[in-house]
Amino acid sequence: MSDKTYNVLFVDTNNSARSIIGEAILKRLGVGRFSAYSAGSEGYGTIHPYTLDLLRNLNHPVDDLRSKTWTEFTGFGAPTMDFIFFVCDNAMNRAMQSTAPRFTGEPMIAPWGVPDPTLVEGSEAEKRHAFADVYGQLTRRLEIFVNLPIQGLDRLTIEKRIGEMGR
């Protein structure tokens, strides 16, 4: 792979929390090397308020974030993805079905499943902690990812490494 800006798509089911968090983190960590996007296999329509609160409190810009479906990243005019990280097992399973959309290019795909913080029950503090935990998990993975010497590695090695990061 040449010296270029790599397109990365984070996918979950609703595009309301995990994938949005991944997008925001990579936009900060990957400046100049990576362009980050997010989508949902089903789409939700809105970003969860705790997601926006968390990102604002951590000084991430949120004005350009929006919930969208993965069909926005297929077909004519869509950015060609180099990497797709499924942060949700359900979205990954849907992507493997024959009815799922096909992304342009030949992206490297890895399952990076993390728990869905929108499903946590309990006090407000417990719910917010779940969002912060997802943020921490994705930050650790993305810190490793952005430091991979992508230009110096072959495709199989990169696929192996990004797969290992999701475990």
Contact present, 37 and 9 (Cβ < 8 Å): yes
In the β-sheet with 108-111, what is the strand arrangement from edge to edge? 34-40, 6-12, 83-86, 108-111
User: Parallel, antiparallel, or unpaired: how do β-strands 34-40 and 6-12 relate?
Assistant: parallel
The 10s digit of each residue's pLDDT in 50-98 is 999 999 999 999 999 999 998 888 888 899 999 999 998 665 566 665 5
Q: What percent of the chain has pLDDT over 70?
A: 89
- Give dist(CA 70, CA 81) in Å, integer: 12
Whether this prediction's pTM lies above 0.85 is answered by yes
Q: Which CATH class is domain 9-160?
A: alpha beta
Which residue in this structure is represented by tokens 């979205």?
91
Of residues 153 and 1, more confidence is placed in 153
CA distances from 77 to 39, 72, 73, 130 (A): 16, 9, 8, 36
* pLDDT, tens only, 146-165: 999 998 899 999 999 999 99
Residue 164's Cα: distance from chain center in Å? Answer: 16
SS3 letters across 59-124: CCCCCCCCCCEHHHHECCCCCCCCEEEECCHHHHHHHCCCCCCCECCCCEEEECCCCCHHHCCCCH
Helix axes 155-165, 124-146, angle to 10 degrees: 160
CB 50 within 8 A of CB 26: no
pLDDT of residue 93: 60
